[in-house]
Structure 1
Amino acid sequence: MSALVDLLTAVFRQPTLKGLAVELASLAAPLWVAVLVGLLIGWAWRPRWAVAVVGDNDQAPAGTPALPRRAAADDSCRKNGAAVVPRAAMAAAAPEEDEQLAVGTGDLMHLRRLVEEKDGGPSWIHMMEKTQPEMRYQAWRRDPEGGPPQYRSSTIFEDASPEVVRDFFWDDEFRIKNTWDDMLLQHETLEECTRTGTMVVRWVRKFPFFCSDREYIIGRRIWASGKTYYCVTKGVHRPSVPRSNKPRRVDLYYSSWCIRPVESRNGDGSMTACEVFLFHHEDMGIPWEIAKLGIRQGMWGCVKRIEPGLRAYQIERTAGEPLSKYAAMAHVNTKVDPDELIAAEDKTEASSTNNVEAEKPKHWTGNIPKVLLVGGAVALACTFDHGLLTKAVIFGTARRFAGPGRR
């Protein structure tokens, strides 16, 4: 404390206002840098404090409804390797069966409300608009209270059918083979239902070098309403899949599309273009402001890879290449009448079964005192002491408080 008092006394002895300002700036700059470094260190150790923030990793995320046990009698909905029936037009599942699936009617209605902008969320902020000869792209963002940033985009592909675009986004094998989605490292089917097309898959996605790779357990399903397809993918809880430190599990994940034909911009009135409305948000375990910056900087670089990938996929389909099991499952979808869908939307507007919005874990800022402790420790170590032993003690004390584990 006496050292701090002496330092401040020396600063305020400056004879001019300019000199005082320079001295204060030179004093404050390393403190702020040290605090920022401390925040990053605190984030790096976050998995240990996450137990206090969002609960035990072996428990379902707060607000996630308990999933009922699958009906053992239904042989068409089973784990790991159910026979896939390609190009089948499947009837809608019975209501009681629908409730047992990883993705249900409530998720369809939630996506419908997002598409129609009737979900009651904040207004969307326009972020980006890009145009290429065969693709048009727009993106929006909004920041709901207590949840990660949400993104909405509209991508229009010229000369593309909704059916091929649907299969393209569902085809995990082609994602890796073509590398249009170069973040996907591994994929595995855990469950599949050949009656409804519902799947549970495991993904491992590559993150930047300073982050661990991320693991996702995703439930997904497609509904068809005429030529419009509602494709829902969301994070689901599966205790049977053990967690590990690397890759880190992402629990809160939502990424769903509405795919529909639209008029081509060639001006002849033909419906030969295809629009994809995407709604996406996830809690990657990265501070949300940092994630927003990274997404904004890298968004267009990722999006512009999609169109060449789609054209390569179209060429393979035209050449008669066999469908992968993932593309075949995209053909197994639940048919819904457009008028009945509108009527059901009106009835369920107030509530939604398995609504992904219920999955809102407490943000990392809920444990802010530990972040400040680490930042303060770094500031003390870097500013007021030049001895390595004392620095080691300060860092060690802060690390012991925050938890010894790293990402």
Structure 2
Amino acid sequence: MPPLEALVGAAELWRPAARGAGGWATAAALLLLLVAHLSVLLVRRRRRGRARLARQQAETPASPDSPSSGSASSTGVEGLVTEDDLRQLVGNLGVGARQPDLEGWVPVIAKGNDAVSYKAWCDKTTDGPPKYLSVTTYEGCSTELLRDFYMDNEYRMEWDNTVIKHEQLQCDENSGIEIGRTVKKFPLLTPREYILAWRVWASDENSFYCLVKECEHSLAPRQRKFVRVRLLRSGWCIRKIPGRDACEITVLHHEDNGMNIEMAKLAFSKGIWNYICKMNNALRRYPQHGGPSVSILTMRRLTKKFPQDLQINMDESNRSPVNTAAAVAPPTHSSGTSPCKQLGKKSSRETIASGLLLVGSIVCLSKGRSNLGAQLAMAFFLKKAFKQDKQPGSSPRGRTDATVSMQ
């Protein structure tokens, strides 16, 4: 097919000298040629999309952070989440959550109110999205209630507007592993599809551990209308805070959902506190929600006992002089400057705002196959967000105005 410029140039040779039926015929012929040319371009674009989808299906991503990875069809369900994964998670939580600043984690946000407090750090990777470490403390909450709330997928669809669908694909009674499919929507982006395997353990101190990992499953073939998340490794520990009527959840999270890295970091920093407040409100309503859902009944039945040797090692480690609760406790609210504002000054976020608006939004949204109107909408949103940060004399508040959450 010749280029479009050649077709338009050739049309000049067919133009009649006088008006009449010949002029309309020439215009119709030119229109047909243009339609044919555009049809060829669309066919080529579809072929490239199919080839890209085939390459994605052929890839089986593996993360160096986990000792075992694979699909349910190739390695078996029992090999998706193992006790070795749990041991690595316990080691990472024990080191990172005690003194994250000394371990190289970069502070992102620290906020709180009378009911909930949140603190997060990130670890920038060289070739992918950052890892996040967070500690959320809930006052007047038991570990069992927080565990059920976090694992109740049916209830999550009621309060979390990013989750539009969840279904269980498989569960294994012997290993305690569950596999599920979740679809999430994000503003101006193509919905993301998560195929996840997870496993829950209970320790002697009424603490709970969970490890979640991406996988593939025969009951969840890839669909073009969703973007399949290629990497998700997430682990958490729920435990009671000694001497207080409160419990905390410490989370290590690493996810690559196809978004531009800079835009994902911006969305997290500006939207996570609003999401935490929304989550806390849903947690307080949870006891009145009704009886346990199918997700909770399944989780309770499949929860495994914490390995005894690992429990002994943890007990010895807890006798050390380092106090985890004191190390990760949020700062007092008497300070006149918010920790987020201090972090923003150090990273010079306002200096790079214009660059993110022009480059980041286009790159991010192009991956979601958004149109020009969506790109302009995102640019307007980011412009408004940065204007709020630049307002003189602004004081920290308990909630942010961001609308994007990245849980």
Q: Which residue of 1 aligns with 2:345?
A: none
Q: Unaligned 5+ residue runs, structure 2? A: 1-44, 64-68, 317-362, 367-407
Give the distance between the partners of 2:48 and 2:255, measured in 1 at CA: 20
* Structure 1 pair 56–345 and aligned structure 2 pair: CA distance change class (3 A): farther
Q: Does the CA-based 8 Å contact 1:229-1:258 persist in structure 2? A: yes
3-state SS, counterpart of residue 55 of structure 2 = coil
Report the TM-score, using the length of structure 1 for normalisation. 0.58
Q: How is 1:95-174 mapped onto 2 (pairs within 5 angstroms)?
A: 100-117=78-95, 123-174=104-155
Deviations along 1:48-74, whole A, 9 cap, x unmatched? 58967x981222424374447589xxx
1:80-125 CA distance string (max 9 Å, x none): xxxxxxxxxxxxxxxxx9x734321122122112201279997211
Match of 2:256 in 1: 283
CA gap of 1:108–1:292, structure 2 versus 1, over 3 A, is same
Distance 1:280 1:297 in 2: 17
Is the 2:71–2:215 Cα contact (8 Å) retained in structure 1? no
Deviation at residue 283 of structure 1 after TM alignment: 0.9
Distance 1:322 1:118 in 2: 36
> Which residue is 1:230 aligned to?
209
Structure having the higher helix fraction is 2
The answer (yes or no) to whether the contact 2:73–2:217 under 8 Å persists in 1 is no
Cα deviation 1:277-329 (Å, max 9, x = unaligned): 0111211111211211111111111111111111111233xxxx321111112
Give the 3 Å change call, closer, same or farther, for CA 140–342 of structure 1 in structure 2: farther
Offset at residue 134 of structure 1 (A) = 1.2
Q: Matched residues in 2 for 1:231 and 1:168: separation?
A: 13
8 Å Cα contact 1:197/1:329 also seen in 2: no
SS of the equivalent of 1:282 reads: strand
Give the 3 Å change call, closer, same or farther, for CA 339–128 of structure 1 in structure 2: same
- Higher RCO structure (Cα 8 Å, ≥6 apart): 1
Residue aligning to 2:271: 298
Aligned to 1:250: 229
Length, aligned pairs only: 264
* Pick aligned residue for 1:221 from 155, 175, 199: 199
Amino acid at match of 2:214: G
The aligned amino acid for 1:249 is R
Provide the secondary structure at the position in 2 that maps to 1:207. Answer: coil
Which residue pairs with 2:294 in the alignment? 325
Q: Which residue of 2 aligns with 1:59?
A: 58
Q: Is the 8 A contact 1:135 1:156 kept in 2?
A: yes
Aligned residues: CA RMSD: 3.4
Runs of 4+ off more than 6 Å: 49-52, 118-122
Which deviates further from its counterpart, 57-66 or 234-243? 57-66
In 1, Cα distance between equivalents of 2:186 and 2:58: 25
Cα separation, partners in 2 of 1:107 and 1:257, compared to 1, 3 Å = same
8 A Cα contact 2:122 2:131, kept in partner: yes
Counting only pairs closer than 5 Å after superposition, residues 4-403 of structure 1 correspond to structure 2 as 56-63=55-62, 65-67=69-71, 100-117=78-95, 123-177=104-158, 179=159, 181-209=160-188, 211-226=189-204, 227-263=206-242, 269-270=243-244, 272-316=245-289, 321-331=290-300, 332-337=302-307, 339-341=309-311
Does the CA-based 8 Å contact 1:214-1:246 persist in structure 2? no
CA distance in 1: counterparts of 2:175 and 2:207, whole angstroms: 17
> Do the aligned residues in 1 keep the contact of 2:147 with 2:238 (CA within 8 Å)?
yes
Give the unaligned 5+ runs of structure 1: 1-44, 72-96, 264-268, 347-370, 375-407
Tell me the SS of whatever aligns to 1:56. helix
